[in-house]
Structure 1
Amino acid sequence: MRAAWSLQQRIMLAFGGLTLFICTLFVLLAMAMMYSLEDTFFERMLAEEGEHQQQAAQAGQAAPAPLRRFISLHADASSFPPDLAAAHAAHPSRRELAGEQGRHYHLLRLEQPQQWLVAEVSRQLEVRPQRAAILWNLGLMCGVLLLLSLSLGWWLARQAVRPLARLDQALREAPPGTEPPIALQSFPRNELGRLAATLKAAWQRNKAFSEREQQFGRDASHELRTPLAVIANSAELLQARGDLPAHAEAPLARIREACRSMTQTVQSLLALARELEQLPPPRRYRLLALVLQALELQRSAALARAEPAPPFELDIDPALELIGQPEVLAVILNNLLANAAQHAPGALVRLRWADGELWVENEGPGLASGGSGERQASAGLGLGLSIVQRLCERHGLGYRRMGKQEGGWVRVALRL
């Protein structure tokens, strides 16, 4: 894609374009004025000759010889030079005609006496023979003006863009998570100064909001994990006793499943709220081992619910290794598998690696696409898929979700 023009280049281009337009208009007007003045000079000479001929006719004298050598007197158009006669026959209303071999004529029709005055002015022309030199001089002048205009535009653009460049540099070079060093006193008190103040205030507001959100996430994590752990341990202790009545087994299983689901939700939300810089650095891991851990968690959850373990089908190379953050992928896989188990219990789930993507497919009904899916998520259905999508966007992973395809499969593709 072609690079965009900088603001400084655009200002220079505007100055240069305006100067070039004015210079071109000036050259055209100057040439038109010179041609017009030259024609006016010849027309005045013909008018003087016409007055000279009319005065002689009024005095009853014979037609005198023209005052100038290049003016001739003709009784009618039949006595015109051949090239002038042909041009006059083609354009009888014109009073300025071009002949052959560079000849140029001006005509004047006299009524008293009835005759034509013809001025062949090819040797008296000044503009046409020097047209190339005139255009060269005008072009040279326009070139000088264009250079001056571009220089002025560059200087003005540099002065105007310099504060904006400082602001851009301060924003780009500031380390992540730190406030950009925007010194408001170094900016002029105009639109740029107000923009710098607005950006500084917006960054401070966003920083305060982010700090409150992170603090809330840490507090919520601490406050939720402890009671969840207590509830889960108590449920396990109760379930380990052999004297529990039969009707208490199902409620205890539901309690343990709810604790597991809440723990997974807390981990997912914390993964969303955590800054990228707080995550461990990317490292190499085996994808199959991570998938097997997630499947084991789902098997344990199914046993806690007194349900049969969901059937799985794997098509992943055991030697496949990736570089990334397995902690984030583990949370994503747990949400995808838990979502499949919740909405399609007992349905086959297939995990396969193809063309750089991890496909998670199940034969369940899935959720409706579009707005209905969002409404279900807000009601507590399909929240796993919403968290998966947001986690993928947060950590730069590709995410594609498709509805029922051939064979009734619902598919989610993760580009790792």
Structure 2
Amino acid sequence: MDIKHSLKQRIVIVFALMSALVAGTFAVGIFVTVHIVEKRLTAISLGSDLRRMLSQDNISDWRHRPEKEELFYFEGGQGDLALSDDLIDLQPGYHELERGKKSYYVIVQRVDDRRYVLLRDQRKFAKRERILFGVVLIGFILSILLAILLGRLLASRVMAPVIRLAGQVRHRDQILEVAPRLAEDYAKDEVGELALSFDQTLGRLRAALQREKLFTSDVSHELRTPLMVLASSCELLLDHPGLDSRSRTQVSRVSRATLGMRQLVETFLLLARTEVQATQPACQQSLSQVADELLEVWRQPIEEKGLQLIYVPCPSATGRYNPTLLQSVMGNLLRNAWHYTDTGFIRLTLTEHGFMVEDSGIGIPLEKQQAMFQPFVRGDEQRGEGLGLGLSLVQRICDNQRWTVSLTTREPHGCCFTVGL
């Protein structure tokens, strides 16, 4: 399993592991060295004691007493000094021997065809080894804890420039033209190189945003005028008494398309501005005001298609919203219902904090509902009109304004779009 840690945690872990490896190596080295040295010194000490005893005039005076740490035996000895069965086969030199529950160091020497054996109790040495083991273990644990503490302190100091740089890059003011360069605050090291790379990337981003601002201003200027001309021309044609019914229908269709295009232009221009989420338009409208304006536009095409338009108002809906964005969301949902409904009804229901658009159309399969809010996805590919951008625009506006939109299936057929404001 891949466990993800922050860079600071990784530094602390590596520092602790490195310290554990070094301290563990030293601890093992201490144990091995002490064991080897102890064995060597014990052999020398036992040999020296045995030679000292052999130099005495009468070694038969040796008596084994319980408090003695050393036991002496020799070949031909009598009583307590006689070689026992476990000592007879020992060769000259240094040995370690287990006797019952006790352990001994043993030195065997042959002098004048007679073997002499000296035993030393290991308990004192074992006690010293346990004490040494405890000291080394405590030192090992303390070294790990100290390594973790020092690792955290060092990691904090090492990561401080990176954390600072991350905060500066994350701050939205860095995309502004007046934002200072990041690399000037850092040394010419790896962090400074990273800051320089961010400066270059942010510079390209600022240039792209500037081009987008120029583009949106050009679009605003260039498209509004011809759309206004189209709308005015349609109004004049519709007022002309000599226009036949077929031509009037076509002109009405052009007028509705022009109105929809103007609304789309306004919506896209508004979404393109970075200040959309931070500011509110000076003129806001209630949910019922937006619904009344859109019903006035869509009532005729809906009824001309033979559909029933049902409107359920909500007097308690008192919230006020961005009219351009709200009209775009509600208008796209009404257009979508009108496009995919051939018989039955379209119902617009206002609630205290949102609205619902229901229809008795062909519906959307359950497996396709999640993808309907993606660009260029259409409910019925056989229908010629539309590019599949309406619902994706609805989703983008809702995300921008922190609204919610959901799609459910009506029984026996049809759709229900619910928008929470």
Output the TM-score relative to the length of structure 1: 0.72
- Whether the aligned pair in 2 keeps the contact of 1:97 and 1:106 (CA below 8 Å) is no
Retained in 1: the 8 A contact 2:286–2:321? no
State whether structure 2 residue 310 is matched by structure 1 residue 337: no
The answer to whether the 8 Å contact 2:62/2:72 transfers is: no
Deviation at 1:367, TM superposition (A): 5.3
The answer as to whether partners of 1:76 and 1:116 remain within 8 angstroms in 2 is no
Which among 376, 386, 390 is matched to residue 396 of structure 2?
Answer: 390
AA of the residue aligned to 1:23: A
Distance 2:240 2:320 in 1: 45
User: What SS does the aligned partner of 1:181 have?
Assistant: coil
The reply on whether 1:30 has 2:30 as its aligned counterpart is yes
Do residues 167 (structure 1) and 165 (structure 2) align? yes
List alignment gaps of at least 5 residues for structure 1.
56-61, 81-93
Q: Pick closer, same or farther for the CA change 1:318–1:38 going to 2, 3 Å.
A: same
Contact 2:24 2:140 (C-alpha < 8 Å) held by counterparts: no
Report the Cα offset of residue 319 of structure 1.
Answer: 0.7
In structure 2, how many angstroms separate the alpha carbons of the residues matched to 1:98 and 1:355? 93
Give the Cα–Cα distance (whole angstroms) in 2 for the partners of residues 355 and 247 of structure 1: 42
Q: Answer whether contact 1:260 1:301 (CA < 8 A) is retained.
A: no
In structure 2, do the counterparts of structure 1 residues 176 and 380 end up closer, same or farther at CA, with 3 Å as the change threshold? Answer: farther
- Kindly state the Cα deviation for residue 223 of structure 1 after the two structures are TM-superposed: 1.7
Q: Deviations over 1:263-308 (max 9, x none)?
A: 23223322332322574169996434433433333225547xx545
Kindly provide the CA deviation profile for residues 51-108 of structure 1, in whole angstroms up to 9, marking residues without a partner as x: 999x9xxxxxx99989x9434456444799xxxxxxxxxxxxx9443754xx432357
Whole-angstrom distance in 2 between the partners of 1:283 and 1:107: 104
**Equivalent position SS for 1:361:** strand
Q: Please, which moves more after superposition, 293-302 or 134-143?
A: 134-143
Residues 175/126 of structure 1: CA separation in 2 closer, same or farther (3 Å cut): same
- Mapped to 1, the partners of 2:110 and 2:350 lie a distance apart of 103
| Residue 195 of structure 1: how far off its partner (Å) | 1.4
Aligned to 2:39: 39
204-213 or 393-402, which moves further after superposition? 393-402
**Partner SS state of residue 232, structure 1:** helix
Residues 320, 231 of structure 1: alpha-carbon distance in 2 compared, 3 angstrom cutoff: closer
Q: 1:208 — aligned with what?
A: 207
The residue that corresponds to 1:14 in the other structure is 14
Q: Match for 1:319 among 302, 316, 319? A: 316
Kindly indicate whether the alpha-carbon contact (under 8 Å) linking 1:105 and 1:118 is maintained by their aligned counterparts in 2: no
8 Å CA contact 1:284–1:322 kept in 2: the answer is: no
Distance 1:192 1:35 in 2: 50
Q: TM-score, normalised by structure 2?
A: 0.72
Greater mean deviation of Cα atoms: 106-115 or 284-293: 106-115
Q: Which runs of 5+ in 2 are unaligned?
A: 64-68, 75-81, 89-94
- Please tell me whether the aligned partners of residues 107 and 118 of structure 2 are also in contact (alpha carbons under 8 angstroms): yes
Q: Which residue of 2 aligns with 1:364?
A: 361
Give the SS at the match of 1:167: helix
CA distance in structure 1 between the partners assigned to 2:234 and 2:281 by the alignment: 37
Secondary structure of the corresponding residue to residue 414 of structure 1: strand
Alpha-carbon distance in structure 2 between the residues aligned to 1:337 and 1:319: 22
Q: Aligned partners of 1:300, 1:279: CA distance in 2, in Å? A: 35
Contact 2:302 2:309 in 1 (8 A): no
1:91 equivalent in structure 2: none
Query: Taking structure 1 as reference, are residues 293 and 224 closer, same or farther at Cα in structure 2, changes over 3 Å only?
Result: same
Is 1:414 aligned with 2:414? no
Give 3-state SS (helix, strand or coil) of 2:358's partner. strand
- Post-superposition Cα deviations, 1:141-196, rounded to whole Å, max 9, x if no partner, equal 87378647844x45643553343244234335563752442342332333222211
Partners of 2:411 and 2:107 in 1: how far apart?
93
Distance 1:65 1:149 in 2: 58
Report the secondary structure of 1:407's partner residue.
coil
Structure 2 letter corresponding to 1:397: W
1:267 and 1:331 in contact (8 A); partners too: no
Separation of aligned partners in 1, 2:296 and 2:99 = 101
Work out the number of aligned pairs and report it.
Answer: 384
Q: What fraction of aligned residue pairs are identical, expressed as a percent?
A: 24
What is the Cα deviation at residue 208 of structure 1?
1.6
The one-letter code sitting in structure 2 at the alignment partner of 1:14 is: V
CA distance in 2, matches of 1:114, 1:360: 115
